[in-house]
Structures are given as C-alpha cells and as structure tokens.
Structure 1
C-alpha cells in the first residue's frame, strides 16, 4: 500500500477533509475487499447516504467503516482520531489527555476516552516469541509510588522489595534484539507467572532471568540461565536481563513522567501502549501508525471502561 505520510505535517496535509480520512480508513481496513462487519459477507453495496448495506437478506444491515472499530459511536472526526494516533504512537513517552485535549480542541474527558480506546486496540495484537535458540529475557517489575515519598499517614508498612501491597507487579518477556510482551500479574509466584511464560515463549528458547524463585524449575522446559542480583551478579558472559530492565525504565518514565499514575484497573492498557511503541521502534512513523490502525477492529464502550 502506498505510504501517504511520514511525519505529522504530511499527515495533516494528506487528510484534507473527513471524506479523505474515511476513504483512507477503508483502504487500511478492507484493502479493496469490503465486508459486512456484522456477518462477514463480502457482497455489499453502497447507499446514497454514504453508508453500505449487506446483500445477505438474513443480515441486511447497514454499516460504515467505523462499525466494529474503536471509532464506532464517536462524534470526533476521523481526522482528529488519526492525529491522536500519530501523537500517541510517535511520542516516545506518550501524550497526556490534557495535552491531547489542547492539541485537538476537545474536552479532557473526550481525550481521556480516546486514549483509552487506542490503548484497548494495542491489546488486539498477539504474537509468540520465537524459539530455535533465541534468547528471551524474563523479568518482573512493580509499578507504584515510592513509600518514602508518601505523607506519613499514607505510608504502607512492609512494602519494601518485592512486596506488592501498594504496587502492581508486571511480568515482561523480551526476545533479545526482537519483540516484547508484558502482562500485569496478580503476584510474582511460580504458580502465577510460569503458565504465562509457557504460553508466550516457545520451548526452544533460551531464557535468562535473575535468581527469583518464581522462575525455579523452568529448566524442565527451557534452557535456563540466571544471574544472582543479590550476590552482585549482573552480567555473566551473555547472561543478563539488562534489555528487559531497560524497557522497565521506559515504561515507568511514561507512566510517572506523562501520566503521573496508573490504577491497577487500567495498568495493562498503559503497559500495552509502551509495548507497542517498543515493538515498533525500528519502523517509520507512518508505518507505525498504519500498524496501529490494523489493530483497531475492536470496540470499547465507556461504561465498560469505567466498569459500570
């Protein structure tokens, strides 16, 4: 497909009007093979209203390209949506709802909902890390404020180290020089983490971890090497977890630097956002945006987002 833009200026120039934005989304979603989003039938026809209709009499539904996507039900013009996608995916640490509201001339509430719809789309992609002698680094981190920075009456007792009383654990799996996936987990026990690892990492992978007991006995399935951080070991030959630890730094700079905090309920969405940016770090801005749009075939309603 022809690349129409490689930067924000070219994107704004390309999206002359709403009709152009709609046509572009149709190209990206249907790739010349329009299909009914209700039943999947490829026999459809255009109506004078600008909508389309399914030719299957059992379905007979009308639709637009927005139906069944993160854009469905939104009154925000597609041009503004495209600009929001560009800003969120190209800015290294993301963009806040307050900043997006100013950039797009929408309310902060609208910008907040738009950003969460986009993060919901990030979770629509899935992949399995490669095996066949590939090195996969495993590590966990804890997201939450530092106890020492809290007011005296808000400090949480016994929250040091790997405690998750006031923090949320996240498990990361990163193929060295390759792709990454990360999951919010209930705790860092072997019972919780190892099924996730087995699901996402192929058995021929060479896994590298620290000495945490949650990784014990993984050598039954994988080739497993580790460094003992507690003993001051951080690199032994090519055995280390520095790559995944670098991603944790990026994730936390995004959450604390741009968003300031993320609740347990929404944390996975913020993690998915950072994972997407990491996995597309080597592609151009326009290509990254089109990859994001390819994930947009899902819908998030407001009452679902706020759990009402």
Structure 2
C-alpha cells in the first residue's frame, strides 16, 4: 500500500473487510485485545470477536473504544474523511465533506469532531530542549468595525452591546513553537500572567531560549529562561535571531483556516480546532500515508454526540 491521493486510498480500501483487517493490524498488531478488560484471550465470531475471559465474556469489534465507536458509517468513508481532514492545510468544512463523501452535513460535522478528538495530544509536549522557542498570543474573532451595529459595544458602556447584551471579547489563544519543530496551542480566558505563565512552564523547561514580543506578560520569563524580545512597537521585527516570525506565520494559517474555511468557531469547540491545526502542522514532514497511519494509532478515544453538544465544557 502506497497512497498519495484520495483515489489511491479508496482503490486500496475497496470493501469493509479490507478496512477492518487493516485497522486490526494498526490497533492490535494482528492480535485482538478485548477493549473491555484488556484480555488477549479472544476468539472470532461472525460479526467480530468475543472475549474468552469468563469474568468478561463480552462481544466486541475493532471499532469499540475508538473514534469509530457506535458509528454506522463504513470505515471506508471514515478513512476518506480522515485523509481529507488531515491533508487539507487549512481544514475542510462539514458542508464540503458532506458533499465529497455523500453524507449529511450533520453527520460530517460529528465525524470531523471525532477526528479532532483523535488528533488531540495525549501527553504534553516538551519544547525547547535543543531548539529556540517563540511564544506569542493571538486573538480570534471579528473586528469591531466589521460587526453589525447591534453587536458592537455601546459607546456609553463598553461592557455591553447596543442591545444591552454582555459584550464578548475576542478569544485568546497562546502558542509556543520551536523553530523547525512543533507547536502547542491553548485557548485561555485572557492574556494575563496566571494563564500564560502556567502554560509556558508546562511545555518549556527552565533554561531554554525563548523569544517573544515586548508584551509585559512575558517580562517574568527572564527569571527562568534565556529570554529576549523584539520591539514591534518600534517597527522592529527582526533583530539577529530575535524575532517571532515563525509563530506569526503559523497564526496566519490558523486564522485563514478559521475565517476562510470554518467562518465562525464557538468558544466551546475552539480547543478542538486548535488540536486539529497543531496536529497537521506537527506532522507536516510526513507523507500522506505516514500521517494517516500515525493518527489511526492514536484513535483510541471516544466522543458521543451527547457529550459533544453538551452545554457543560
């Protein structure tokens, strides 16, 4: 198998059995493991497998306990969706995915969110061990001047719109990126030190070299890191090795994807979209097939529709 395009992928995965055999090899290395109790003592049934452990004795398929859990969509369609969502640099909308795969927009929206669940980092990345690191924040949301008049802030009260509803500011995203390396992202309530500092400390070991702009929130970095800042307010964007151009380039891709492909992202789901963009960026050096297989290895996570639309998050 060596596919570089969607037609080649679909040519290989001609039927459901081929998909199941392939995914069983990816997930279990050919030896089925019960997802309920972890036992390797299983036997094959007409519809999948059954645990031979007398305390469990449950039936299961390779989909149980994964992003495909409970889905009636064929793995062939799922594999095509994963390929499209992870190879489009700026993402693919649920409307376009529905048209491409012949499913409903509601189904495509749920499929994409399950894929984002798969793309989520399972363990915190440590950046800056042997590379220079840049840190910056971005603000997601429309410009005030472009909003409808009834959604703009009142001139009398800056905390409310003209209709008296509480004003919702732009969403704050903090990002840390290695030069020629990976990126980690997080949606934070605001750009205060208590939010930014904890995130940086979690992902960058003390003593690393960090570059940022001149925002006051980064002043504390000198205590724990080799920190230098570039003076954007003075129209200085590069001073030797001191710049934030790497993270700025990433922000441009992120914003063009969010605004151009998805148009609008709710605060509730923003973190999932950040996982998607970070995962694509961090696997940019892999081939389409290598990326596809890597993400399938990390597919053991479930997401129900009830949880996805829940108001508690």
After superposing the two structures, state which structure 1 stretch, 26-35 or 279-288, moved more: 26-35
The answer on 1:299 being equivalent to 2:302 is yes
Match of 1:21 in 2: 19
**Distance between the aligned counterparts of 2:128 and 2:285, measured in 1?**
21
The SS at the match of 1:171 is strand
Match of 1:147 in 2: 144
Q: What's the CA shift string for 1:25-81, capped at 9, x where partnerless? A: 11111122321111212222112x231112221222211100000100111111000
The SS at the match of 1:236 is coil
**Distance between the aligned counterparts of 2:102 and 2:181, measured in 1?**
38
Give the aligned CA root-mean-square deviation in angstroms: 1.6
Conservation of the 8 A alpha-carbon contact between 2:127 and 2:177: no
Q: What's the CA shift string for 1:229-280, capped at 9, x where partnerless? A: 1222211100111101111100011111111010000011111111111111
**Distance between the aligned counterparts of 1:222 and 1:197, measured in 2?**
11
Deviating beyond 6 angstroms after TM superposition, the runs of 4 or more aligned structure 1 residues are none
Match of 2:90 in 1: 93
**Distance between the aligned counterparts of 1:290 and 1:86, measured in 2?**
10
Match of 1:52 in 2: 49
Conservation of the 8 A alpha-carbon contact between 2:128 and 2:178: no
Match of 2:164 in 1: none
**Distance between the aligned counterparts of 1:18 and 1:124, measured in 2?**
29
**Distance between the aligned counterparts of 1:56 and 1:80, measured in 2?**
33
The gaps in structure 2 that reach 5 residues or longer are: 160-166
Conservation of the 8 A alpha-carbon contact between 1:131 and 1:204: no
The gaps in structure 1 that reach 5 residues or longer are: none
Q: TM-score normalized by structure 1?
A: 0.93
Q: What's the CA shift string for 1:67-119, capped at 9, x where partnerless? A: 00010011111100000001111111111111111111111100111011111
